[in-house]
Chains A and B, each alone.
Chain A
């Protein structure tokens, strides 16, 4: 098991946004979470990634209980998240955005910077090579030297995925990666996710865009009013009556 959630619960002033949610993601798994607006998906993501603390329940990663760890410490253990609204470093170029995500750079400490300049230079070269690869893979070369604030919404989503990749993750949490992205980029993004999954990186994806997600994931969890109401293979889950009631019924 890469990630295991057990009875995660979080309330806001008496309202249970996430209500004893338990599930797990296998190593290299490709798992989706869907649910109507206000179902608690984003809160769940914040609980998993450490941006919110749960009232009760635990999160464990590779068998280690990480419920009390800070967000950056979780990311260092190989689980990294993206945001629904991209949070690019607006004044840094795409290349610098990716470079800033490379872990363990001794040039990021003052001591390393001034006492070990040769080591810093060597590391920087390695990091730049990795970043160049990622830019090629994500087809961001034309905008590599553009400040990220000027990218289109879809390009920013690609950049978010790229930054996550730079941290050498074992599991990536994607928060609505397809929202506001044009269909061509949705296809490209899905391809990237499949390719990366083929290389052994697990994904947990929250999404609203059902068709894109159901084509992608092998397991789907449906959330409604803070609870998981159905889990399983996408087709099976989507045809379950309680899901149609809660989710699809709410739409039509």
Chain B
């Protein structure tokens, strides 16, 4: 039971990192990022490749995950921040699918659809079981706390004021002498780097990576989380990721209760439920479960 809870906590905390990144992108700045899983994927593969084939220390993989995911966001930003927000959504969606195609095709680097197994777990020295599981959760908690602290500092700063101004009305920002693209590109890179770190944690936690882990559905899990938790609040990312975990694990229990439902059918039920949640929340509760998002 403890092991199960620790596992859930670890995955939930990884989702919190993803949700924080998307909150920075969409909730605070208004960037409709439909390709978050692409940055997550780059981080996961960077950590996986460096720690297995590269034989590098795990810490190097984490740094590389953040840097590469951030670097990938840079050209995407340069190209598409000049575009309307609906175009930005399409371009980011295309980006994440392209990333998945690349890791599927470049077998020399990624082993293609077979993926990369045998990624070292964190704290293997502590032995398999509770000590290492708790250490992992502890590190994730610390990283999340650091990210949340950073976010609060950002939001309360003049920089945070500007990105929310951009979200509310970009043309007014331009009219008043500030270049929205300058802010947006930094926001995009920061959130992507955070997603990259989440990917590194994911790779080291699960122990293997395959392209199928990085389908667009993951992006919309994160969207569902921030919409449920309340768009535009940092607390919303945390609450939403917790609710998402409840949903994902709840649907797993459902399989034990409902007889004759296969694993693939369950996956479909899950996709359908995510779809329904996205539609219903957008229509009836756009402010999320927690209420008004006027300020944080």
Which A residues form the contact surface with B (CB < 8 A)? 49, 51, 70-73, 75-76, 80-83, 87-93, 96-97, 99-101, 103, 105, 107-110, 113, 120, 124, 147, 149, 163-164, 166-167
A96 to B295 Cα, complex, angstroms: 11
- Whether the Cβ atoms of B159 and A110 lie closer than 8 Å is yes
- Whether the Cβ atoms of B178 and A72 lie closer than 8 Å is yes
Q: Which residues does chain A contribute within 8 Å of B162, judged by CB atoms? A: 100, 108
| Given A49-B175, A110-B186: 5 more A-B contacts, CB < 8 Å | A70-B179, A72-B179, A80-B177, A88-B172, A89-B172
- Whether the Cβ atoms of B168 and A92 lie closer than 8 Å is yes
- Whether the Cβ atoms of B171 and A51 lie closer than 8 Å is yes
Q: Which residues does chain B contribute within 8 Å of A87, judged by CB atoms? A: 169, 171-172, 175
Q: Which residues does chain A contribute within 8 Å of B157, judged by CB atoms? A: 107, 113, 120
1/0 per position for B135-154, CB-CB distance to A under 8 A? 00000000000000000011
- Whether the Cβ atoms of B159 and A89 lie closer than 8 Å is no
Return 25 A-B CB contacts under 8 Å, by A number: A51-B175, A70-B179, A72-B177, A75-B177, A76-B177, A80-B176, A87-B169, A88-B168, A89-B165, A89-B168, A91-B164, A92-B161, A99-B158, A100-B158, A100-B173, A101-B176, A107-B159, A108-B162, A108-B178, A109-B159, A110-B159, A110-B186, A113-B159, A120-B157, A163-B176
- CB interface residues, B 6-25, toward A, < 8 Å: none
- Whether the Cβ atoms of B175 and A108 lie closer than 8 Å is no
- Whether the Cβ atoms of B168 and A91 lie closer than 8 Å is yes
A92 to B294 Cα, complex, angstroms: 8
Which of A71, A90, A149 is B174 in contact with, Cβ under 8 Å? A71
Given the interface pairs A91-B232, A107-B159, A124-B158, the reply to whether A147 lies near B295 with Cβ below 8 Å is yes
A70 to B176 Cα, complex, angstroms: 12
Given the interface pairs A91-B294, A110-B186, the reply to whether A71 lies near B159 with Cβ below 8 Å is no
- CB interface residues, B 105-127, toward A, < 8 Å: none
Given the interface pairs A89-B165, A147-B294, the reply to whether A70 lies near B174 with Cβ below 8 Å is yes
Q: Which residues does chain A contribute within 8 Å of B232, judged by CB atoms? A: 91
A124 to B293 Cα, complex, angstroms: 25
Which B residues form the contact surface with A (CB < 8 A)? 153-154, 157-159, 161-162, 164-165, 167-169, 171-179, 183, 186, 190, 232, 293-295
Q: Which residues does chain B contribute within 8 Å of A108, judged by CB atoms? A: 158-159, 162, 178, 183
- Looking at A80, A83, A88, A110, the one whose CB has the most chain B CB atoms below 10 A away is A110
A108 to B88 Cα, complex, angstroms: 24
Q: Which residues does chain B contribute within 8 Å of A107, judged by CB atoms? A: 157-159
- Whether the Cβ atoms of B172 and A103 lie closer than 8 Å is no
Given the interface pairs A107-B159, A109-B159, the reply to whether A89 lies near B176 with Cβ below 8 Å is no
Chain B nearest CB, measured from A144 CB (Å): 14
- Whether the Cβ atoms of A90 and B168 lie closer than 8 Å is yes
A93 to B296 Cα, complex, angstroms: 12
- Looking at B164, B168, B183, B190, the one whose CB has the most chain A CB atoms below 10 A away is B168
- Whether the Cβ atoms of A105 and B158 lie closer than 8 Å is yes
Residue ID in chain A nearest B186 by CB atoms: A110
Chain B nearest CB, measured from A105 CB (Å): 5
- Whether the Cβ atoms of A75 and B176 lie closer than 8 Å is yes
- Whether the Cβ atoms of B165 and A167 lie closer than 8 Å is no
Chain A nearest CB, measured from B246 CB (Å): 29
Chain B nearest CB, measured from A58 CB (Å): 21
Q: Which residues does chain B contribute within 8 Å of A73, judged by CB atoms? A: 177
Q: Give the top 6 A-B pairs by smallest Cβ distance, nearest first.
A: A75-B177, A107-B158, A87-B172, A89-B168, A87-B169, A71-B174
Q: Which residues does chain A contribute within 8 Å of B154, judged by CB atoms? A: 113
- Whether the Cβ atoms of A100 and B153 lie closer than 8 Å is no
- Whether the Cβ atoms of A103 and B177 lie closer than 8 Å is yes
Chain B nearest CB, measured from A124 CB (Å): 7
- Whether the Cβ atoms of A91 and B158 lie closer than 8 Å is no
Given the interface pairs A107-B158, A107-B159, the reply to whether A92 lies near B176 with Cβ below 8 Å is no
Q: Which residues does chain A contribute within 8 Å of B158, judged by CB atoms? A: 99-100, 105, 107-108, 113, 120, 124
Chain A nearest CB, measured from B80 CB (Å): 17
Q: Which residues does chain B contribute within 8 Å of A82, judged by CB atoms? A: 175
Residue ID in chain B nearest A114 by CB atoms: B153
Chain B nearest CB, measured from A245 CB (Å): 35
- Whether the Cβ atoms of B153 and A113 lie closer than 8 Å is yes
Q: Which residues does chain B contribute within 8 Å of A83, judged by CB atoms? A: 171-172, 175
Chain B nearest CB, measured from A145 CB (Å): 10
Residue ID in chain B nearest A74 by CB atoms: B177
Which of A71, A88, A147 is B175 in contact with, Cβ under 8 Å? A71
Residue ID in chain A nearest B293 by CB atoms: A91
Q: Which residues does chain B contribute within 8 Å of A88, judged by CB atoms? A: 168-169, 172
